[in-house]
Structure 1
Amino acid sequence: MSLLNQSAPDFTLPASTGESITLSAYKGRKHVVLVFYPLDFSPVCSLQLPEYSGLQDDFADVDAVVLGISRDSVYTHKAWAAEYGIDVPLLADMKLEVAHAYGVAIDERGTTKRAVFLIDKDGVVRFEGVEEQTRNYNVRPEHVLEQIRGL
């Protein structure tokens, strides 16, 4: 199921920042990069999210915000973010409702696929990169930045 060139499913989720974040609140203001990842503290995720976080200024320069999403709780997100220096908001999709809306839930594992969605300021999905296996990490932040610059 591809969401490319369709309106992004809206959601509101609790975040590691202590607030709830609603996707549509960015409409008309920012591009949004949704980074779905399986689990906090797992090896590949512990490489991926710090990389995206480390390039926050580059994303800000192109009017974009990065949001990480997994099924872990806000409390786990906070501990992981503190240990790994992750500054992007990490959203808790504990029932995988958002993951289902984006077609990236793995029900038998209770996690999500590793996937990145770029949503433009109009709320339309302009790029989606879904890894074949959760251990893969091919959609790097630099590639997503190129996609944003091409909008």
Structure 2
Amino acid sequence: MLQKNDSAPNFTLYATPDQKISLSEMIGKNVILAFYPADWSPVCSDQMALYNETLKYFKQYDAEILGISVDSKWCHMAFGKSRNLHFPLLADFEPKGAISKAYGVYDETEGECKRALFVINKEGVIEWSYVSPTAINPGADGILDALEKINK
């Protein structure tokens, strides 16, 4: 898994069926990457809902959050709409898990992303990373602590 002071690998992934987002477009902003196993799972649903409620705090640190899993862009669209999410969910779908692998958080056994968080600074360098047990919602405290340290 990538660690503090590693350069965040760039990527371009689908955010909607006809729109892609690249990490390189975010240079100049802090970025939170929230890798999660699967849309519709109970823990993932709770985790993404929490981040949706925490968006105003992330914005105070000039931070954008991106959810990433190996589910398809169509699955993300339905999941995001059903949960009323106001941040992009990116499809690490094909080649399956390529970005999760680049960040060292792909679970080969399950064929999905591990539950992992990265906070990337405005220059594209990882400031904090964390892997949570699959069945545990990691919450937002670690993210907010990392963003606070960046702003000092």
TM-score (structure 2 length as normaliser)? 0.92
Alpha-carbon distance, 1:33 to partner: 0.1
Provide, for residues 50-102 of structure 1, a one-character-per-residue CA deviation record: whole Å limited to 9, x for no partner.
Answer: 11111112111110000000000111111111111111100000110000000
Provide, for residues 101-128 of structure 1, a one-character-per-residue CA deviation record: whole Å limited to 9, x for no partner.
Answer: 0000012211010000000001000000
Residue 56 of structure 1 corresponds to 55
CA RMSD of aligned residues (A): 1.3
Residue 66 of structure 1 corresponds to 65
Alpha-carbon distance, 1:16 to partner: 3.3
% identical equivalent positions? 40
Residue 150 of structure 1 corresponds to 149
**Structure 2 stretches of 5 or more lacking a match?**
none
Relative to structure 1, is the Cα distance of residues 18 and 65 closer, same or farther in structure 2, using a 3 angstrom cutoff?
farther
Alpha-carbon distance, 1:14 to partner: 0.5
SS at match of 1:55: helix
Relative to structure 1, is the Cα distance of residues 17 and 49 closer, same or farther in structure 2, using a 3 angstrom cutoff?
farther
Q: Distance in 2 between matches of 1:9 and 1:83?
A: 30
Residue 101 of structure 2 corresponds to 100
**What does 1:1-150 align with in structure 2 at a 5 Å threshold?**
1-16=1-16, 18-27=18-27, 29-94=28-93, 95-131=96-132, 133-138=133-138, 140-150=139-149
Q: Distance in 1 between matches of 2:143 and 2:109?
A: 29
TM-score (structure 1 length as normaliser)? 0.93
Q: Is the 8 A contact 2:17 2:74 kept in 1?
A: no
Corresponding letter in the other structure for 1:13:
L
Alpha-carbon distance, 1:143 to partner: 2.7
SS at match of 1:4: coil
Alpha-carbon distance, 1:17 to partner: 7.8
Matched residue count: 148
Relative to structure 1, is the Cα distance of residues 13 and 61 closer, same or farther in structure 2, using a 3 angstrom cutoff?
same
